[in-house]
């Protein structure tokens, strides 16, 4: 404290006016920033709540689903599938025998989201184990779904690609029948080494048409279901098809008991060919089939679940990519006219996945998957996901969205 000339204490010097204004401005800015942060967090919370309320939650119990009868409006729907059972399960939406959407290998105690763009109608829903009862899904019409149906583009441009794809399915199905016949003969002869050798080409033959075959729920389950989806796993009487044969040949290292299994597989493959040629495919399903197949590769099969006994996973991935490329080539002329940018993204992603798989090529086929590193598996998954993302641009580019 200082004294004035009169000897009385003087007041402290007041801070400059500019400093006072700067301090006040800082306080105002802090208050404003806090307000903006609060507003943003409230908006984010409202958005999360809106998204959650839009989700239809389905809980899978060991023997049932809750709810098992669902009604939703047409259009884009999100289903959160909660696995309350003690084993990995799958959930599917079926239109008759055809799979519309699915999510595989949902781990116990966890949940996954299925996003489905649904048209009005009645569907069935599966519930975990194949022995569990199915539920129902009723999709009601909306003004948007009716408008989308009226705006559907002319199908004339798709007649050629769809016809060629039918020829492709016929040709590859015949090749599959021959490959399974070779496998059957090897098993009948009791020659384990020959049967193991015949398994790989038969499996690859199936994987080339898997995107289309997996639309046929019952047949795909008979041909391709893993042991996880049966109550007694590998010991379940219902466990059959490719993976039952794979288990016998590569895990048990025996052909004992496999003859009736391969005979049933041959009959199911013959039925598959008939069904593939009998079922019509809508233009928008061409892209969605291969998108779903690539997402399955990226999200699930890249971890080695598919060929767990033989470790021939990369063999199947390469066959999947071949089937995907066929669809791309069939739609290429249409995409070149409407969206060259989308086509370039697809081609770049296809090449990237192909190059990744070729790194694992050997003189005898591909490196066994139990010898593929964690980093290589991640690269395969990432590139398969990138291809799936690129393929999702097909329908918007061709005017097939919202159908």
The token pair at 91 is: 């959930």
Angstrom CA distances, 239 to 3, 39, 309, stand at 101, 55, 15
List, by residue range, all CATH 1.20.1420.20 domains of the chain.
156-397
| Whether the Cβ atoms of residue 300 and residue 105 lie closer than 8 Å to each other | yes
The token pair at 383 is: 């590139």
Task: Please state, rounded to an integer, the average pLDDT across all residues of the chain.
Answer: 86
Omega within 30 of 0 (cis) for the link into 67: yes
Architecture of the domain defined by 156-397: Up-down Bundle (1.20)
Cβ count near 265 (within 10 Å): 23
The domain made up of 55-145 has a fold known as: Immunoglobulin-like (2.60.40)
Mean pLDDT of 89-113: 83
In the predicted structure, residue 7 carries a pLDDT above the cut 50 = no
pTM attached to this predicted model: 0.74
Angstrom CA distances, 357 to 289, 296, 335, 350, stand at 21, 16, 26, 11
- CA-to-CA distance for 381 and 267, rounded, in angstroms? 33
What pLDDT was estimated at residue 21?
Answer: 54
Q: What is the pLDDT of residues 148-184, one digit of tens each?
A: 665 566 678 888 999 999 999 999 999 999 999 999 9
Pairing of strands 111-118, 65-66: unpaired
What pLDDT was estimated at residue 98?
Answer: 72
What pLDDT was estimated at residue 271?
Answer: 96
In the predicted structure, residue 11 carries a pLDDT above the cut 50 = no
Q: Which of 2-6, 143-147, 308-312, 339-343 has the highest mean pLDDT?
A: 308-312
| Whether the Cβ atoms of residue 80 and residue 111 lie closer than 8 Å to each other | yes
What pLDDT was estimated at residue 165?
Answer: 95
Please give the residue that has the higher pLDDT: either 88 or 3.
88
Angstrom CA distances, 204 to 46, 201, 208, 393, stand at 48, 5, 6, 27
In the predicted structure, residue 25 carries a pLDDT above the cut 90 = no
- CA-to-CA distance for 112 and 57, rounded, in angstroms? 10
Confidence category of residue 79, pLDDT binned at 50, 70, 90: very high
> What is the share, in percent, of the chain residues with pLDDT greater than 90?
60
> What is the share, in percent, of the chain residues with pLDDT greater than 70?
84
Pairing of strands 75-83, 111-118: antiparallel
List, by residue range, all CATH 2.60.40.420 domains of the chain.
55-145
In the predicted structure, residue 53 carries a pLDDT above the cut 50 = no
What pLDDT was estimated at residue 237?
Answer: 93
In the predicted structure, residue 49 carries a pLDDT above the cut 60 = no
Confidence category of residue 383, pLDDT binned at 50, 70, 90: very high
| Whether the Cβ atoms of residue 54 and residue 79 lie closer than 8 Å to each other | no
The two most distant CA atoms of the chain are separated, in Å, by: 124
């Amino acid at each position: 404290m200082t004294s004035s000339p009169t000897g009385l204490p003087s007041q402290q010097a007041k801070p400059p006016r500019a400093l006072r204004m700067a301090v006040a401005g800082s306080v105002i800015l802090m208050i404003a920033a806090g307000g903006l942060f609060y507003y943003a967090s409230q908006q984010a919370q409202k958005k999360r709540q809106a998204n959650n309320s839009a989700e239809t939650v389905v809980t899978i119990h060991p023997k049932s689903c809750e709810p098992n009868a669902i009604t939703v409006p047409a259009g884009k729907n999100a289903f959160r599938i909660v696995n309350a059972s003690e084993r990995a399960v799958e959930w599917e939406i079926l239109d008759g025998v055809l799979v519309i959407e699915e999510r595989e290998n949902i781990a116990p105690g966890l949940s996954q989201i299925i996003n489905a763009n649904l048209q009005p109608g009645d569907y069935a829903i599966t519930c975990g184990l194949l022995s569990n009862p199915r539920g129902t899904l009723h999709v009601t019409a909306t003004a948007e779904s009716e408008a989308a149906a009226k705006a559907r583009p002319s199908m004339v441009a798709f007649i050629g690609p769809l016809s060629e794809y039918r020829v492709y399915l016929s040709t590859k199905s015949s090749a599959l029948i021959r490959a399974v016949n070779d496998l059957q003969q090897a098993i009948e002869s009791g020659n384990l080494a020959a049967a193991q050798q015949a398994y790989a080409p038969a499996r690859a033959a199936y994987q080339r048409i898997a995107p289309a075959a997996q639309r046929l729920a019952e047949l795909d389950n008979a041909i391709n279901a893993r042991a996880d989806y049966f109550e007694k796993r590998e010991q379940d009487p219902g466990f059959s098809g490719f993976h039952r044969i794979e288990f016998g040949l590569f895990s048990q290292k025996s052909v004992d008991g496999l003859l009736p299994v391969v005979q049933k597989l041959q009959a199911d493959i013959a039925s598959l060919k008939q069904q593939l040629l009998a079922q019509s495919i809508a233009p928008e399903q061409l892209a969605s089939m291969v998108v779903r197949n690539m997402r399955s590769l990226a999200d699930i099969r890249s971890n080695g679940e598919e060929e767990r006994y033989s470790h021939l996973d990369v063999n199947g991935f390469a066959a999947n990519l071949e089937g995907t490329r066929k669809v791309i080539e069939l739609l290429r002329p249409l995409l070149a006219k409407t969206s060259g940018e989308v086509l370039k993204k697809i081609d770049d992603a296809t090449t990237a996945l192909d190059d990744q798989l070729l790194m694992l090529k050997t003189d005898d086929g591909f490196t066994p998957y139990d010898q593929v590193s964690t980093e290589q598996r991640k690269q395969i998954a990432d590139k398969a996901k990138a291809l799936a993302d690129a393929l999702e641009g097909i329908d918007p580019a061709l005017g097939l969205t919202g159908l």
